[in-house]
């Protein structure tokens, strides 16, 4: 039997419906993992939260209220080195995917194309790396 574990997830997403969808998809993806989400809509709020709490992983949208594009990946990666960042974006663009990876993202997932199981798999793969 696999041991139960709790993962603290920083979810940086400015769409409350997208944030709720990610939480709902992951809630049933694994009986062995409990995801504890801290959800913020702005990068500045994520950076502030990092002073107060540690996270196992971050899920990051690239189009936020206060910053747009891969600059958010660079800033978050600098603030939490060693913590995996998974970009979860509505933009399916190979160039943007490559830039995000160069800036520190472990994976780049496209909204609407992923299931809870695929997101869970990417999280587990990122944590194992």
**Please, which pLDDT band fits residue 37 given cuts at 50, 70 and 90?**
very high
SS3 63: strand
A 10 A CB-CB count for 37 gives: 18
The pLDDT value given to residue 129: 75
The structural domains of the chain, ordered by start, are 5-128 (3.40.50.2300)
pTM > 0.95: yes or no: no
- Which 3 state secondary structure label does DSSP give 62? coil
What CA–CA distance (Å, rounded) separates 112 from 51? Answer: 32
CA atoms within 13 A on the CB side of 43: 21
Q: Per-residue confidence at 49, pLDDT binned at 50, 70, 90?
A: very high
Say what the pLDDT of residue 55 is: 97
Local structure of residue 7 (DSSP, 8 states): E
Instruction: State the pLDDT at residue 29.
Output: 67
Digit-coded pLDDT (tens) for 79-95: 999 999 999 999 999 99
Q: What is the pLDDT of residue 118?
A: 86
Asked if 66 and 94 touch (Cβ cutoff 8 Å), the reply is: no
Alpha helices by DSSP H, 1-129: 16-27, 43-50, 71-79, 94-102, 116-128
């Amino acid at each position: 039997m696999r041991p139960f574990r709790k993962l603290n997830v920083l979810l940086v997403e400015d769409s409350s419906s997208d944030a709720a969808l990610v939480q709902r998809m992951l809630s049933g993806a694994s009986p062995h993992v409990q995801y504890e989400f801290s959800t913020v809509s702005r990068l500045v709020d994520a950076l502030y939260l990092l002073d107060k709490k540690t996270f196992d992983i971050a899920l990051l949208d690239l189009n936020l209220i206060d910053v747009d594009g891969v600059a958010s990946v660079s800033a978050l990666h600098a603030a939490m080195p060693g913590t995996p960042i998974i970009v979860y974006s509505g933009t399916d663009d190979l160039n943007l995917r490559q830039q995000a990876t160069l800036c520190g993202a472990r994976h780049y997932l496209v909204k609407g194309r992923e299931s809870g199981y695929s997101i869970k798999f990417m999280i587990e793969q990122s944590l194992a790396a």
